[in-house]
A and B are shown apart, each in its own frame.
Chain A
Amino acid sequence: MSPTFRCPSCGQQRLGTSGLPLVCASCGFAGTTPGPAPRPAIEIREFSKRYGTSMAVEALSLDVRAGEIFGFLGPNGAGKTTTIRCLLGFLRPTRGSLHVLGLDAWSQAAILHHRIGYVPGELALYDDLTVEQLLRFIARIRGRIDEAERARLEARLKIDPTRRVRTLSKGNKQKVGLLQAFVHEPPVLILDEPTAGLDPLMQEEVHEMLREARAQGRTVFLSSHGLREVEEVCDRIGMIRDGRLLTVESVDELKRKAPRLFEFEFEDEPRIEEFRHLAGVTDAAVQGRTLRVHIRGDADALVKAAAAHRVKRVDARDVDLEEVFFRHYGGGPP
Chain B
Amino acid sequence: MNVAVFRKTLWDLRWGLVGWGVGLAIYAALMNGLFPSLKANPALDAYVESLPEEISRIFFEGGGGSFTDYGTFIRAEFLAFLPLLLSIWIVGAAARIVVGEEEGKTVDLLLAQPVSRASALLQKMAALLAVAVAVPAVVGVALVLSSATFDPGVPRWRLLSAPFYAIPFLVAMEGVVVAVAAWAHRRGPVIFAGAVLAIGWYLLFITARLQDSLESLRWATLYAYYDGNNGFHEGPDPAYWLVSVILAAGTTWLAVVLYRRKDLLT
Contacts and interface: CB of A to CB of B under 8 A. Distances in A.
A141 to B, nearest CB: 4
B114 A111 contact: yes
Interface stretch (B1-9, B76-84, B198-206, B221-229): B1-9
Contacts of A112: 114
Interface string B216-244: 00000000000000000000000000000
Contacts of A177: 109
Interface in A111-147: 111-114, 116, 118, 120, 122-126, 137-138, 140-143
A114 B8 CA distance: 20
B4 A141 contact: yes
Interface in B248-266: 261, 263-266
B105 to A, nearest CB: 4
A137 B105 contact: no
A89 B4 CA distance: 21
A24 B113 CA distance: 32
B113 A113 contact: yes
Interface residues of A, number: 29
A91 B115 contact: no
Interface in B84-118: 104-109, 111-117
Given A90-B263, A90-B264, A137-B4, A142 B106 contact: no
Nearest to A81: B266
Interface in B3-21: 4-5, 7-8
Given A91-B263, A141-B4, A141-B5, A125 B112 contact: no
Interface in B128-158: none
Contacts of A91: 263-265
A45 interface: no
A164 interface: no
Contacts of A113: 111-115
Contact of A90 (B7, B107, B114, B119): B107
Nearest to B7: A140
Contacts of A92: 261, 263
Interface in A140-194: 140-143, 177, 180
A88 interface: yes
A122 B104 CA distance: 10
A164 to B, nearest CB: 14
A85 B108 contact: yes
Most A C-beta atoms less than 10 A away, residue of B5, B114, B264, B265: B114
Given A110-B115, A113-B113, A141 B107 contact: no
B56 to A, nearest CB: 48
A16 B85 CA distance: 60
B36 to A, nearest CB: 44
Contact of B2 (A111, A122, A143): A143
Most A C-beta atoms less than 10 A away, residue of B8, B105, B108, B266: B108
Interface of B: 2, 4-5, 7-8, 104-109, 111-117, 119, 261, 263-266
User: Top 5 nearest A-B pairs by Cβ distance?
Assistant: A140-B4, A124-B105, A120-B108, A110-B116, A118-B112
13 contacts: A90-B263, A90-B264, A91-B264, A92-B261, A109-B116, A110-B116, A110-B119, A113-B113, A120-B109, A122-B105, A124-B104, A124-B266, A138-B109
Given A90-B107, A91-B265, A142-B114, 9 more contacts: A90-B111, A92-B263, A109-B117, A120-B109, A124-B106, A126-B109, A138-B109, A140-B7, A142-B113
